[in-house]
Amino acid sequence: MESAKPAARFPAPLTIRHTFPVPHRNTATPDSLLREVLARNEDCTVSRQRLPYHAPDISALAKSLARQLDDSPERPGHVELLNLLARAVGFRNYQALRASHEAASRLARGAEPETVVDFRRVEQWRRYFDESGLLQRWPKKHSHREACLWVLWSRLPARQRWSEKEINQRLQGQECLGDHLLLRRALIDGGWLARADDGSEYRRIERRPPAELGALLSFLPVGA
């Protein structure tokens, strides 16, 4: 009996798969966009400077990012992602956002620290004025005199000029001491009031008042 012959083996049919290019569709979402920016932030030289990012309206931010992503022909790179975020909050690009932050930092560094007002001193100075806001007593202490003169100075309109008679009338309307000449002389000697050489003209000297002046004026009648 003849042995069975092995079945002939034929090569498997060749399957040819054609790969056609598929048009790119940007599927990024605002949420994934933000995560990607944060993930790339450490390795990108453009964003090594940490900048605070603030969006006043998160809904408007999401809409702006979605619109920009839809308009993008391809998935944006890291620099373009930064530009998208910057444009979403009103800046031209990331460089403009960074420039704005740097300018704000310079202004903050240059700003003077807020002065703490000593209200105990303000309370002492308030006692030199009566209920109508008129200067009723002349202080013995130099620092207290300065505080009172600052008040008189603040009540003289800026950028105006007066004759001797006019300045005397103005000072008389701010005191009940009965010695407006004393006050006029103190204002001139202390650098609050300028006087022409012939005495025909007076004007207020513009100076930066101390922080306590505003506090003191707040406790005096407005119409004084």
Domain's final residue, options 108, 139, 161: 108
Tens digit of pLDDT for each residue in 168-218? 999 999 999 999 999 999 999 999 999 999 989 999 999 999 889 999 999
Instruction: Evaluate whether residue 179 is within a structural domain.
Output: yes
pLDDT of amino acid 39 = 57
Of 52, 78, 108, the domain-final residue: 108
Q: Which domain holds residue 194?
A: 119-218
Tally of structural domains, the chain:
2
Are residues 214 and 129 part of one domain?
A: yes
Same domain, 74 and 155: no
**16: in domain:** no
Judge contact between 219 and 151, C-beta under 8 A: no
Residue 15 lies in a domain: no
HSE value, Cβ hemisphere, 13 Å, CA-based, for 203: 10
159 and 182 belong to one structural domain: yes
Burial (0-12, 13-18, 19+ Cβ within 10 Å), 198: exposed
Contact 183, 145 (CB under 8 A): no
B/e letters for 114-139, b = 16+ CB within 10 Å, e = fewer, are eeeeeeeebebbbebbeeebbbeeeb
Place of tokens 């940490």: 50
199 falls within a domain: yes
Q: Which of 43, 77, 108 is a domain's end point?
A: 108
Per residue in 6-21, pLDDT (tens digit) is: 555 545 554 444 444 4
User: For residue 176, what is the domain's CATH number?
Assistant: 1.10.10
Specify the pLDDT at position 56: 78
Weakly modelled stretches of the chain, pLDDT under 50: 10, 14-24, 42-47
Do 125 and 50 have their domain in common?
A: no
Model pLDDT, residue 6: 54
Quick one: 173 and 205 in the same domain? yes
pLDDT at 165: 96
| Structure confidence at residue 61 (pLDDT) | 81
